[in-house]
Structure formats: C-alpha cells, structure tokens
Chain A
Amino acid sequence: MKKFLIEFPEILFIALRAMRANKLRSVLTTLGIIIGIVAVTTMSTAIVGLREAFISSISSFGSDVLYVDKFPWFAMGNWNQYRNRKDITFEQYEKLRSILKNYEAMAPSKSTFGAGVKRKDKSVQATLVFGTTEDYQKTGNVNPAEGRFLNDLDVKSGRRVCIVGKDIVDELFPRENPLNQYIKINNVPMQVIGVLEKQGSGMMGAFSLDGQVIMPLKTFETVISNRHQRLRIDIKIGDVSKLADAKEEIISAMRVIRKVPLNKPDDFAINQQEALKDMYDKTIGIVALAGIVITALSLFVGAIGIMNIMFVSVTERTREIGIRKAIGAKTWSILFQFLTEAAILCIMGGIIGLIISFPLSLVINQFLPTAMPLDIVFISLLISALVGVISGFLPAWKASKLNPVDSLRYE
C-alpha cells in the first residue's frame, strides 16, 4: 500500500505526459467517449423528463380514486368482448351511490376533447370539457382559484354555468375579471362562476388541464352533445390502503346493479391511476430502454476506440516498458500505468461530455419538466471510468506481460 502511494504520482504523471505528447490523438480518441456520454445523458434526461411529464399529466387522476367505466383503459386482447357492453347510466350511478358506504365522494362524469369557446371576437379551443356534479371537486381534485365550484343547485337544475382553466381565461379575458361574465361554448352562452388554479404541466399541450371546462352533467348533455355518451363514475375512497377492499365492494355492487349472471364476467371495468403508470412503464418503458441501449452503443464504439489507441500506445512504448521492468517495475505497476492512462482519457471524455450535455438538458427542459439528474452526472463519470478500465485492460495486460528481454531489444 505504501509502495502504491509512492508509485501513484509517477503513474499519473506518465499518463498525463503521454497524453500531452499525443494531443491530437488523445482528443480524437476521447471524442468517441464524449459523443457516447452526451448521447446517454441527454437520452436519459429526456426519458426521465418524459415520465415526469406523464406522471404530472395523470395527476388529475387521484391515486385513491377508482373509475368505474364501460371499458378498461388499457384493453389487452380481444376488443370484441367489450363491444356489446351496455352503457353505464345515470340511474346505475344513483343506485351505486345508495348501496355503497365507504367512500368520500362519488361523481358521474362525461367528457370530450376539444370544444370551441368564444367571447365577443375572441375564440379558443378548450382541451377537455367535463360534465359532472359537485362531488367532482373532490374526485378530480380541482380547486377554483377564483369564484366557486359547482354546487348542488347548479347540478340539479342544469344551470348554464362553468368553471374554466387558466389558459382559457388568459385568452378570453386578458385584462378583465372573468367571474360572472358570459362565454359561448358551441354557441350557447354560459356564465363563468370559477377559475381553476394554474396546473402548468408543460408538454401535454393538447391535454393541458389549464384548457379545461367543467360544467353540470345535464348542461353538458344539452350543450356539448345530446347523443348518448359514455358515462364514467369516479369514486374517491380517501385512503389508498382501502383501495382493494373498496374495489371488491364496487364490483359486487355493480354486478347486482347491472344484473350480471353469476357465471358471466364483469361487463364493466374498475380503472385506477396505478394502471396508467404500469401501462406507461410497460410500453414507453420498453421504448426508453431501447433508446438507452442504442445510445449506449455509441459509448461502446468509443470504448473500442480507446482500446485500439491503447494497443498502439503499448506497442510504441514497448522499449519503455522493457526499461521499467528491467529496473524493477512489477507486473501490476505496468498494468496499472496503462489502465490509469485509459481511465484518464475516458474520464476526461466524460467530463467534456457532461459539459456539453448540461446546456442540452436545459434545452430539453423547455419541453419537459426535467433537469439533468445529479445521479446521472455521477453515473456517467463512473461509467466513463469503467469504460476506460475495461477497454484499457487488454492492452494493459499485454503490456504487463511483455518479456523484458524482448522489449529491450524492440526497435
């Protein structure tokens, strides 16, 4: 150990001097590692960001909320089996509400993507439009920043009132108080009674919650569509640990309500947020993994470059190795000397790569809610050192095993 500490400065010195003596060659060799590190770090930053964006975009689905729907959100297998299912109706919702005991809030809802919203000469496209009840404030976890949410009376009498997202207000009421003013949705005048607080989930432009409109269910049915449309029942349980039990309870209640024969499978589905995450990890996760693997290939190519140049370096310095061995360098000294050289090449590549990919991550941050994670910084430095050691090993091993007599004779 003491010997090692005495030798290490020499080893470091030799490695740095060798790199200085071959500046252009070192730079070109390192380029492979730089590109590899930039590719891997920006890729993983983007992937982490994509997931963050997804999670924040599904955060409107509460983790303690169950969604009773006609279909499962992610249908595996045969779509035919779902096709003939009967719609969930408002009457079924009312029955479920009277049967079920342990829940915090229950809201039936219908929704649609996109609807034209106008005021005077201005117009905007709402991203999502919901028709629901006062309970939706809890099941959907929506809070008006100004004004109020729907109340019992709004819902029962189907009043033409609505709560709108911040983006819509910004667009239609640039300098005015929107409360109690009228806007036109599908050309029907509606009174704004509340404005939602800003969510700001960057990327999901087309699905941004800041562009949503919420109105009473009955109003929705007349204003948005009089067609028969899918009804969903959102049930907030209030306690994630009771989710499984509640699910059982809801399933048996729904079977009774929908008169499903004992020997038949459910003709409805209970969805939850967790399923969305699972689904994300299963599909996008695989794509992301493939992305990482493919970008890691560029690092591998860089490693081959390092290995190649280290073999050249060993051959060039055969005589030096012979001299060092003749005067007493042990096998490990020579091995370590070349490993250090390879590792330094790679770590420098790693550092330069990080310096390049940091601003790139700031660019990605414009689209995805992410910053380059600190652990990626450490991991990539570790990886580059490891790449150096692995790709340097074969050449270093060759050097350390050279016969001193032959190497001294080498011209």
Chain B
Amino acid sequence: MNIINIEHIAKIYQVGSEEVHALRDVSLKIDKNEYVAIMGPSGSGKSTLMNMLGCLDTPTKGIYDFKGNNVSQMNDNELAAIRNKEIGFVFQTFNLLARSNALHNVELPLIYAGVSSSERKERARLALEQVGLSDRIHHKPNELSGGQRQRVSIARALVTKPSIILADEPTGNLDTKTGEDIMALFNDIYELGNTIILVTHEEYIAEHAARIIRLRDGLIEKDEMVTKRYVPKKNGASKV
C-alpha cells in the first residue's frame, strides 16, 4: 500500500511578473517503510517537493494522494491536522522553540493533537530516551550542542508516531562526525519500521537511503534503488 502517490505535480511561484517553475512535472509513489533520499543541485526543487510531501504547501497542478486522501484539495486546517498526525519534520536549522526546554519542544505536537498533559509528558520522555537524550530533557536549545538539538527535533518528529518522517538536509548544519551520528539514528529509526524521506545534496549522506530520487530543474532525472546501501553502526536509538 502506497503512503504517498503524486501524479504530475507542478509548483509555480509568481515572482513579480515572472513565473518560477520550482516543480514542472513530478510523479512518484512511496511505500510504507521506505528510506528515500531526494537529491539534486541547489535550486532543483528539493525543498519545494519536500514542503509538498509534508503538506506544508499545496501543488499548483497535479494530484497529491496521501493514504487515500486528496491533499491537493484540502484547506489550511485539514492540512494542519494531517501534518500533526501523519508527518514528522526534521529541519536543517532544527526549528526548536528557543524559550522552551527539550521536553516541552517534544510535547508540542501532542498539545495540538489534544493529548492530556500527563500522557504527553510520558510520551515525550520516551521519545527523548529513544534518541539518547534522557539526561537533557530540561535543557533549552541554547544549552545543547547542534547534534543534541537535532536529536530533540527528531524526538519531536517521532513522538506522534507519524506515517512518514521528512528530513530536509538534517546534517547540513552539523560537522561530519555529528552528522554521521544523526544518520545512524535515522538508520535505527528506519529499521524499526518507519518511513523516512531525506533531502540532501551530499552523495555520501544519500547513500544511507535505500532509494535515491534525483531532481534537476523541477523534474525527476533518475529514480533508482541503491544496490549497496551504507549501513552505519548502531547508535543512540533503542527500542520504540
């Protein structure tokens, strides 16, 4: 069963009198428990596709079907509900609330899901444990290292048990060693049965995935399975 099914999607931005075709004609399917990397040079439309897949934005043309729901037709609040329940975001710049500690940041999606305070705290603690941050739950983002911040945002993405995890250049702001640790964490999460879509422009990061989709100028250039996937050593993630 496909989780994601997009057909002939286009996204056109109007910049002044000029039209920018960020995506021209993209079709793809993604199954449950896939590990997909989206690659391409800067400006090729990776982030635009990612926003579309993450229901942060709707396509100008084409159909986006998410688990049998036609996302292209949804209004803001319906999109918000899908994002809340079905999608976990991991951003390059972490996007944590600066004034909230790790626990509260991880709790946040559950607040909008209407989960009671006690259950929320319990689940947020578990998610932080899963990414190896049990001893940092009361720290604020500025008291954490880059790698730890990214772990908090991964915990936030995992806490709602979403259908897919979307990561846009998750290692882009990290040094190589820390980036590798984060990739190991993604691998653990993948092996636990999650679906991961990863955006990157670095070949060695993309090779962690099982499938690589290459974009160029808003079109899919290549969509292929990786023959010899790079599997990092077990890292922080324990059982779900």
Contact = CB atoms under 8 A, between A and B. Distances in A.
A binds B: yes
A21 interface: yes
A13 to B, nearest CB: 9
Given A324-B108, A404-B56, A330 B91 contact: no
B89 interface: yes
Interface in A1-56: 2-3, 6-7, 9-10, 17, 21
Nearest to A404: B56
Contacts of B25: none
Contact of A6 (B57, B80, B89, B114): B114
Contacts of B116: 6
A225 interface: no
Count class of interface residues, chain B: 20 to 34
Q: In this complex, which of A2, A326, A330, A405 has the most chain B Cβ atoms within 10 angstroms of its Cβ? A: A326
A325 B117 CA distance: 20
A111 to B, nearest CB: 74
Contacts of B95: 319, 322-323, 326, 408
Contacts of A319: 95
Contacts of B108: 324, 327
A328 B81 contact: yes
A328 B95 CA distance: 14
Interface of B: 51, 54, 56-57, 76-77, 80-81, 83-85, 89, 91, 95-97, 99, 108-109, 111-117, 156
27 contacts: A6-B115, A6-B116, A7-B111, A7-B112, A10-B111, A323-B95, A324-B108, A325-B80, A325-B83, A326-B83, A326-B89, A326-B95, A327-B83, A327-B89, A327-B108, A327-B112, A327-B156, A328-B80, A328-B109, A328-B112, A329-B80, A330-B76, A330-B77, A331-B76, A403-B57, A404-B56, A405-B51
Given A328-B80, A328-B84, A408-B95, 16 more contacts: A6-B111, A6-B114, A6-B117, A17-B99, A322-B95, A325-B80, A326-B54, A326-B56, A328-B81, A328-B83, A328-B112, A330-B80, A330-B81, A331-B76, A332-B77, A408-B56
